[in-house]
Amino acid sequence: MEQAIFSLSFKTTDQAGRSVQCLKEEQALEIAHRHHGTLRGVYREALKNNIIPYRYIRNRTTLSIKEQLKLLESDIAVVGAGGLGGLVMEILARTGIGGLILIDDDTLEETNLNRQILSSKDTLGLSKAETGASRVRTVNPAVDTVLHRKKINEDNGKELLAGAAVIVDALDTIGDRLALEKTARALNIPLVHGALAGFEGHVMTVFPEDQGLVLLYGETSLPESEKQNAEAVLGVPAATPFLIAALQAMEVVKIILQRGDPLRNRMLHADLETGRFSEFFFPERARK
């Protein structure tokens, strides 16, 4: 395979005029077919040999070849494939994450059309998880997808999330979020939490040893019903999930690459209507 990659790669220049060795997807698919492998596997070998998949040429040099490889080798779980989850998986697939575990038991309906990227007149009535996996394969066929048409809970969570390097919380009720955090902690996996309502939203990253969502929702808060949650009361216009999903996806990238400053023990709140971003800091105390 390595010889085939070298022979079918080509030298070009990026937008800044710098020389770079690349491999186009058509040739990578040919190699994968010839060697009974996967596109993800071909891209892995290419990157190991300093050959950049042509689709990622605009990522350099924001992402180094080693970082692009690290993303390719990582599997991320996205729990919830609605407004936030559909956008998060879209961004991660285009960025170069190698595997996505998609978990959602819901189907697409007409009221999703105002904000959910997976919804269209052609997908109404279809499974969100299956539609998400199909879109990811169209956007980036190098991404391996595992889908679960199930509602995650404390009983099945460990099985569904096995193998994930990071878990993305794209759920819409406090009770479900707290249960997901508990499972993430038991599996020793970082969790990227996001929530929104109206033109406001927030993002926070929780590592297993952190206090986590109790800092936002309190120790004695009761899970709200669907009719009581803020999203149901205030609605969700399209702009808000696009912003919050981008912030969540960036948190995933920072965690995987161990760079930048994750939103750990702090919450970033965005108010799109006023154009204001606010940070809320919490004591850096480990859980007891």
Residues in the chain: 288
Residue 155, H or E segment: none
Please report, in angstroms and rounded to a whole number, the separation of the first and last CA atoms in the chain: 50
Tell me the longest C-alpha to C-alpha distance in the chain: 62
Instruction: List CB contacts of 171: < 8 A, sequence separation 6 or more.
Output: 79, 80, 177, 180
In this structure, the strands spanning 19-23 and 52-53 are: parallel
pLDDT band at 218 (very low <50, low <70, confident <90, very high): confident
What's the mean pLDDT when you consider all of the chain? 93
Overall pTM surpassing 0.85 (yes/no): yes
* 207 pLDDT above the threshold of 90: yes
- At 115-152, the pLDDT tens digits run 999 999 999 999 999 999 999 999 999 999 999 999 99
Domains present along the chain, CATH in parentheses = 2-68 (no CATH), 74-281 (3.40.50.720)
Q: What's the pLDDT score for residue 238?
A: 94
**Higher-pLDDT residue of 282, 288:** 282
DSSP, collapsed to helix, strand or coil, labels residue 181 as: helix
Tell me phi and psi for residue 107, to 5 degrees: -120, 160
Q: What's the pLDDT score for residue 227?
A: 56
Q: How many CA atoms lie within 13 A of 105 on its CB side?
A: 5
Hey, what are 99's tokens?
Answer: 């595997």
Q: What's the pLDDT score for residue 226?
A: 56
Q: What is the mean pLDDT of residues 189-214?
A: 96
The answer to whether the CB of 21 falls within 8 A of the CB of 11 is yes
**Higher-pLDDT residue of 218, 70:** 70
CA gap 288, 282 in Å, rounded? 16
Q: What's the pLDDT score for residue 43?
A: 98
Distances from the Cα of 201 to the Cα of 3, 192, 224, 278, angstroms: 49, 14, 17, 11
Nearest partner of 69 among 49, 105, 88, 44, judged by Cα: 44
DSSP, collapsed to helix, strand or coil, labels residue 47 as: helix
Q: What is the mean pLDDT of residues 247-274?
A: 97
CA gap 256, 67 in Å, rounded? 9
E strand spans, the chain: 10-13, 19-23, 52-53, 75-79, 99-103, 144-148, 166-169, 191-197, 200-206, 266-271, 276-281
**Higher-pLDDT residue of 172, 253:** 253
Q: What's the pLDDT score for residue 287?
A: 60
Q: Token match 């996001």: residue?
A: 194
**123 upstream amide cis, omega within 30 of 0:** no
Q: What's the pLDDT score for residue 112?
A: 93
Q: What's the pLDDT score for residue 120?
A: 96
Q: What's the pLDDT score for residue 223?
A: 56
**Higher-pLDDT residue of 79, 231:** 79
In this structure, the strands spanning 75-79 and 99-103 are: parallel
- At 60-96, the pLDDT tens digits run 889 999 999 999 999 999 999 999 999 999 999 999 9
Instruction: List CB contacts of 151: < 8 A, sequence separation 6 or more.
Output: 105
